[in-house]
Amino acid sequence: MYKLFLRSLISVLFLLGFSLNANAEFKVGFVYVGPTGDHGWTYQHDEGRKAVEAAGIKTTYVESVPEGADAERVIRQLAQSGHDLIFTTSFGYMDPTNKVAKDFPNVKFEHATGYKRDHSNVSTYSARFYEGRTLLGHMAGKMTKTNTIGYIASFPIPEVIRGINAMTLAAQKVNPDIKTKIVWVFTWYDPGKESEAAQALIDQGADIIMQHTDSTAPVQVAEKAGVWSFGQASDMQRFAPKSILTSIIDDWAPYYVERSIAARDGTWKQQDTWHGLKEGMVAMAPYNSAMGGDLVKEVEQLQKDLASGKAHSFTGPIYDQKGNILVAEGAVADDGMLAGMNVYVKGVEGDIPQ
């Protein structure tokens, strides 16, 4: 009888301790705009989450959260259910993130690609994807036979325009006759629209296809048509093994691990992060040997120079489409100019949709 009592007492205490522990456990939450299996944007964020988990920190995610009225509830639920740090990984979560942050001063929030940090517990972060675009431009300029590069663009926001410009500038450097043709699809993820756009660009003579959208459809169209292409967000090589020259990889893992550990250990501070090749937030997938060893070496050197700061994606002279000077000879564009970029450089065809 006595033993039984002791045993149950111990188990009750154990359970109690366990549940107290569970409440106090440090947890990180993630809000995704797409499904984790999109093989693009959300997939890479989820890879980052797995790295946090591997570092011994418990994580939770909610996928396919619409950027409308639902986002605020999901973010608030994560905050309410004991998550100490919450990453909201799409631009449309900017206002809801700041709104919830106001009500949960002890929870830390990290919003990707936004610019509002209304409260001291909100940080923003993004990656200098344009550095990767510079490398793509170099390869595209060397590899094209038709001097026409096809570019599938999502929305005319500064980030996308920056990518188009960085790519065009780098391509012009190695091939002055280059023309960039753009199709705006006004979506981040729509395999149907993206493949139509890729086909339209190929029909217009583009023999290089690149995308600022997240599905693998464009590279698959390029593979079929026998033209070159570049993967986006994750290594898409297995979807178009012959066509893909490389992919720009968004590697959020180191940042997520670093920020999660900082939040756990109490050293987290508000900041605005914009990391690139140097820090590894932008990484390149293995280069396709079909482009020749010399070109691979050139690109690897350029990658090193961009990372070390010896080269910059936006080095003057840079002209807009009308021939006005944007960046003087020898100067480089500052971050403020990059962040608000809303004009095309010379060599890009068409107008920015307004």
Partner 1 sequence: MEVQLIKIEKRNDVSRSIYFLTPVLAIFLTLFGGGIIFFILGFNPIEALKFFFITPISDLYGLSELLIKATPLCLIAIGLSFCFKSNNWNIGAEGQLIFGGVVGGGVALLFYNHDGFYVLPIIILSGAIGGMLFAMIPAILKTYFNTNEILVSLMLVYVAKLLLDYLVVGPWSNPEGFNFPETRQFSESARMPILFDGLRIHAGIFITLIAVFLSWLILYKTYLGFQIKVSGFSLKTAKYAGFKGKTMIIIVFMISGACAGLAGVGEITGPIGQLHRNISPEYGFTAIIVAFLGRLNPVGIIFASLIVALTYLGAETAQIFLQVPKYTGQVFQGMILFFLLGSDYLLFFKIKFLGFKKNEL
The one among 72, 190, 320, 349 contacting partner 1 by CB under 8 A? 72
Residue 330 in the binding site for partner 1 (CB under 8 A)? no
Cβ atoms within 10 Å of 269's Cβ, excluding its own: 9
Taking only Cα atoms into account, the Rg of the chain, rounded to an integer number of angstroms, comes to 23
* Residue 210 CB, nearest approach to partner 1 (Å): 20
Q: Stretches 12-20, 56-64, 174-182, 269-277: which one binds partner 1 (CB under 8 A)?
A: 56-64
Instruction: Give the integer Cα–Cα distance in Å for 214 and 232.
Output: 6
* Residue 25 CB, nearest approach to partner 1 (Å): 14
* Residue 352 CB, nearest approach to partner 1 (Å): 8
Q: Stretches 151-159, 165-173, 219-227, 258-266: which one binds partner 1 (CB under 8 A)?
A: 151-159
In terms of DSSP bridges, do strands 179-184 and 208-211 run parallel, antiparallel, or are they unpaired? unpaired
Residue 287 structure tokens: 């280069």
The one among 58, 158, 311, 312 contacting partner 1 by CB under 8 A? 158
On whether the CB atoms of residues 208 and 175 are closer than 8 A, the answer is no
Residue 354 in the binding site for partner 1 (CB under 8 A)? yes
* Residues forming a β-bridge with 125: 112, 273
CA distance to 7, 22, 120, per residue, from 13 (Å): 10, 14, 39
Interface of this chain with partner 1, residues 281 to 310, rule: CB under 8 A: none
Task: Give whichever of 179 and 212 is closer to partner 1, judged by the CB atom.
Answer: 212
How many residues contact partner 1, by CB under 8 A? Answer: 35
Amino acid, single-letter form, for residue 185: V
The one among 8, 19, 64, 146 contacting partner 1 by CB under 8 A? 64
The one among 115, 300, 324, 328 contacting partner 1 by CB under 8 A? 115
The one among 50, 58, 76, 312 contacting partner 1 by CB under 8 A? 76
The one among 19, 301, 308, 342 contacting partner 1 by CB under 8 A? 342
User: What letter does residue 285 receive in the DSSP assignment?
Assistant: P
* Residue 24 CB, nearest approach to partner 1 (Å): 17
Residue 26 in the binding site for partner 1 (CB under 8 A)? no
Residue 19 in the binding site for partner 1 (CB under 8 A)? no
N-term to C-term CA, the chain: 81
Half-sphere exposure of 61 (CA within 13 A, CB side): 21
Q: Stretches 88-96, 104-112, 121-129, 210-218: which one binds partner 1 (CB under 8 A)?
A: 88-96
Task: Give whichever of 53 and 258 is closer to partner 1, judged by the CB atom.
Answer: 53
Interface of this chain with partner 1, residues 210 to 239, rule: CB under 8 A: none
Instruction: Give the integer Cα–Cα distance in Å for 325 and 336.
Output: 17
Q: Calculate the CA 163 to chain-centre distance.
A: 12
Q: Stretches 70-78, 118-126, 196-204, 292-300: which one binds partner 1 (CB under 8 A)?
A: 70-78
CA distance to 83, 159, 197, 257, 275, per residue, from 58 (Å): 9, 32, 41, 11, 25
Identify each DSSP E strand in 135-278 by its residue range: 148-153, 179-184, 208-211, 228-233, 244-250, 272-275
Interface of this chain with partner 1, residues 178 to 217, rule: CB under 8 A: 186
Q: Between the CA atoms of 224, 229, 235 and 241, what dihedral angle is there, to the nearest 10 degrees?
A: 40
| Tally of residues, the chain | 354
Amino acid, single-letter form, for residue 93: Y
Residue 61 in the binding site for partner 1 (CB under 8 A)? yes
The one among 50, 55, 58, 60 contacting partner 1 by CB under 8 A? 60
Q: Stretches 40-48, 75-83, 269-277, 311-319: which one binds partner 1 (CB under 8 A)?
A: 75-83
Q: Which distant-in-sequence residues (6+ apart) come within 8 Å of 289 by Cβ?
A: 296
Q: Calculate the CA 66 to chain-centre distance.
A: 18
Task: Give whichever of 91 and 287 is closer to partner 1, judged by the CB atom.
Answer: 91
Residues that bind partner 1 (CB under 8 A): 29, 60-70, 72-74, 76-78, 80-81, 91-92, 95, 103, 115, 155-158, 186, 340, 342, 352-354
